[in-house]
Chains A and B, each alone.
Chain A
Amino acid sequence: MYRIVKKTQLANSIALMETEAPMVARGCQPGQFVIVRMDEDGERIPLTICDYDREKGTVTLVIQVVGAETRRMTKDLKLEAFHDVVGPLGCPSELVEKTDEELKAMKIVFVAGGLGTAPVYPQVKYLHSRGIDADVIIGAKTKDIVILEEEMKAVAGNVYVTTDDGSYGRSGMVTQTLQDLVEKEGKHYDLCVAIGPMIMMKFVCKLTETLNIPTIVSMNPIMVDGTGMCGACRITVDGQVKFACVDGPEFDGHKVNFDEAMRRTQLYKTQEGRAMLALEEGDTHHGGCGNCE
């Protein structure tokens, strides 16, 4: 068992959990992820590492309710421990490989969409520890689900928050902010790292292609084992099939086939939806709709 030592509700459907996982914490790097199972019947759920403490042997994970299993996991913050935490999985962010000189020579902007703020945080924090302050755009649908803003401000250069509905910060999509920064506010960036929903990453990449800014994205497809064994997470990058779990999760965003990747995330949506309904309705779920088996 992997004891959860700290848990908080960051927003309505987003929870933060710090869990003991010494084998992960001993060597994990920004960009990597873990797979957790909440109990002995749990599904294997991939989660990007948001923070880690090598001394304490803990990692911090941020979980958003996207289906029945993540609902079960975060419900009323009751979970005391994970049954399994395995990792670190995937390759570290390329930024980790770069020398201080290389890093200092470039101006980096991070685009964090929704839950994507969590995996962006350790990268920005890492750069800060090397003396580099990157700019960060945090986007969310609405004010209530902007997460980790204060934490980010402590380690970033400029933090620009934008909400789709204009309820907080700037108004509009992250692409609008990025375009404004570059075209109207005189910003220049040599590298963009975009992490968030696939649809957001797709449109950020479309924009940065026209702005001529190389862009790294972190892919979050369906996974089972996370070690290269099943191929569920395969995506097409530059015409080649790649496994996000071992070849990624970070890729050159301008070469990723997002349309295919987004289609592949739909695989179990119908089943997931039914499982979610069954969970919400509990004993009152009678399957009378005629669609349930």
Chain B
Amino acid sequence: MGDVNVKVPVREQDAKERATNFKEVCLGYNQEEAQEEASRCLNCKNARCILGCPVAINIPGFIQEVKAGNIEKAYQIISESSALPAVCGRVCPQETQCEGQCVRGIKGEAVSIGKLERFVADWASEHGIKPEVTAEKKGKKVAVIGSGPSGLTCAGDLAKMGYNVTIFEALHEPGGVLVYGIPEFRLPKTDVVAKEIENVRSLGVKIETNVVIGKSITIDELIEEEGFDAVFVGSGAGLPKFMGIPGENANGVFSANEYLTRSNLMKSFREDSNTPIMKSKKVAVVGGGNVAMDAARTALRLGAEVHIVYRRSEEELPARVEEVHHAKEEGIIFDLLTNPTEILSDEKGWVTGMKCVRMELGEPDESGRRRPVVVPGSEFVLEADTVIMSLGTSPNPLISSTTKGLEVNKYKCIVASEENGATSKEGVYAGGDAVTGAATVILAMGAGKAAAKGIHEFLSK
């Protein structure tokens, strides 16, 4: 037995080796390790970890079952609250949520809740365990738009309550950001995402791919012509942002969305893929969030030297600490306090580099972070043949612009109640990035959950 103040370490693929492949970085706990880690849980009466979880999983409850070796029981406890435990165990920012609240964390390290959740979900998947369905059919139809984290959660919860749920997905594969956005090496598509979606299907949820709501059919038509009693909009924040600097349309400048969609959804990281991806020698990724890390680490695995270019300092990097750590281990170069001002290209329009300036941190701005200001005379050129813009995304206006009476704010985010997802239009609920702008998987799931409750209350009137 190790030190109770320290997490049982989790096995990872060696940094040098993984920098050349797309296999998962983190290898997870085995049962012995999981049980040892579970025994660190103090089983607090007033479990603060549950308060830190956007979907309020009974965390001490499932951990006690792990400790006792009842993994199936542990899975059913998690499933009561979460439709995607194998995903969340991998991509949730536990350090600021459940683990951030853990009493163990005061003197030492928090219990590794995320890794335990992942172990339980993977174990259930290997043993063919499915979530239990109990409710009787209610005879009412709900349409869910988008099959990302919020949509899958909302659909799963409603199906468990007995509603007849159909998910409409615009792309050819369900999963939303789990499929097009997050790379294979963080979230395996076949073994993890596809299986969790299968579990949602096994609850009775229908998924129709290749349907673009607002183009193929509108929300008003779903309600008036197709007989849906309520609609949940979980269409995410899919529109990429660019900097608006000169040269941004040069050949070799991509949005992180495009680069990642090619690699993740279209599998262009594989040699035999029919979808091409730029073969780069030196890549500059502009931005410092999780998506920037994902794009950078993808480019690295495709054989490039990769620089993260971020205008503030390391402390302000919005990416999870674990992702930054992994990126550094793999050899990503961080050009911090650096801001591009122009993209340079050759006479045929191909990127040759970026004109950048050095920044220093001044007084705090509205966000409370110190505002970066340009260092006079610091201009220099960073050579690169590829630039990936990872500056965040905003909601797609396709749905709001084609739905009568659906209120949006100035950022084109749908206005919806945090408590129950209700929008300005009766019977239409919304949640996830479509409402908040780009955020995390688990926050979207929390919103999907709240909206499922809201829809249930609306349809029970």
Contact = CB atoms under 8 A, between A and B. Distances in A.
Interface stretch (B67-75, B250-258, B330-338): B250-258
Contacts of B215: 87-89, 227
A72 to B, nearest CB: 8
A231 interface: yes
A263 B261 contact: no
Contact of B242 (A23, A241, A260, A267): A241
Interface string A208-240: 000000000000000011011111101110000
A268 B277 CA distance: 8
A9 interface: no
A246 B273 CA distance: 26
Interface string B195-214: 00000000000000111100
A58 to B, nearest CB: 15
Interface stretch (A37-45, A170-178, A198-206): A37-45
B172 A229 contact: no
B274 A41 contact: yes
B396 interface: yes
A273 B88 CA distance: 41
A128 interface: no
A131 interface: no
B444 to A, nearest CB: 16
A69 B238 CA distance: 26
Contacts of A260: 249, 349
Interface residues on A, range: 35 or more
A141 interface: no
B291 to A, nearest CB: 13
A246 B398 contact: yes
B172 A86 contact: yes
A44 B266 contact: yes
A161 interface: no
B396 A23 contact: no
B217 A23 contact: yes
Interface string B147-173: 000000000000000000000001110
A202 to B, nearest CB: 15
Contact of A229 (B239, B249, B275): B239
B276 to A, nearest CB: 4
Interface string B168-196: 00111000000010000000000000000
Interface residues of B, number: 38
Nearest to A22: B216
Contacts of A86: 170-172, 210-212, 216
Contacts of B276: 268, 271-272, 275
Contacts of A26: 216-217
A227 B209 CA distance: 14
B248 interface: yes
Contacts of A27: 216-217
B279 interface: yes
B289 interface: no
Contacts of B272: 41
Contacts of B312: none
Contacts of A44: 172, 266, 275
B242 A42 contact: no
A285 to B, nearest CB: 13
Contacts of B238: 225, 227-229
Interface in A36-69: 37, 41-44, 68-69
A225 B267 CA distance: 14
A95 B283 CA distance: 44
A77 B216 CA distance: 28
B262 interface: yes
A235 B251 CA distance: 12
B356 interface: no
A264 B211 contact: no
Contacts of A264: 249, 251, 349
B278 interface: yes
A198 to B, nearest CB: 14
Contacts of B398: 227-228, 246
A76 to B, nearest CB: 18
Given A23-B217, A228-B238, A246-B398, A84 B261 contact: no
A266 to B, nearest CB: 7
B135 to A, nearest CB: 30
B376 to A, nearest CB: 29
A244 interface: no
Interface in B252-309: 252, 254-255, 257-258, 261-262, 266-267, 272-276, 278-279
Interface string A248-275: 0000000000001001101110011001
Contacts of A104: none
B41 to A, nearest CB: 41
A6 interface: no
Contacts of A232: 254-255, 258
Given A43-B266, A86-B170, A241-B242, A225 B348 contact: no
B249 A23 contact: no
A271 B172 CA distance: 24
Residue with the highest number of chain B CB atoms closer than 10 Å, among A83, A84, A229, A268: A229
Contact of B211 (A23, A37, A72): A23
Given A225-B261, A231-B240, A241-B242, A41 B249 contact: no
Q: Which 4 pairs, one residue from A and one from B, show the smallest C-beta to C-beta distance?
A: A230-B258, A263-B349, A86-B210, A229-B238
Given A224-B258, A241-B242, 10 more contacts: A27-B216, A41-B273, A44-B275, A68-B274, A84-B210, A88-B216, A229-B257, A232-B258, A266-B251, A271-B276
Interface of A: 23-24, 26-27, 37, 41-44, 68-69, 72, 83-89, 224-225, 227-232, 234-236, 241, 246, 260, 263-264, 266-268, 271-272, 275
12 contacts: A69-B274, A84-B209, A86-B211, A89-B212, A230-B258, A231-B255, A246-B398, A260-B249, A264-B249, A264-B349, A266-B349, A272-B276
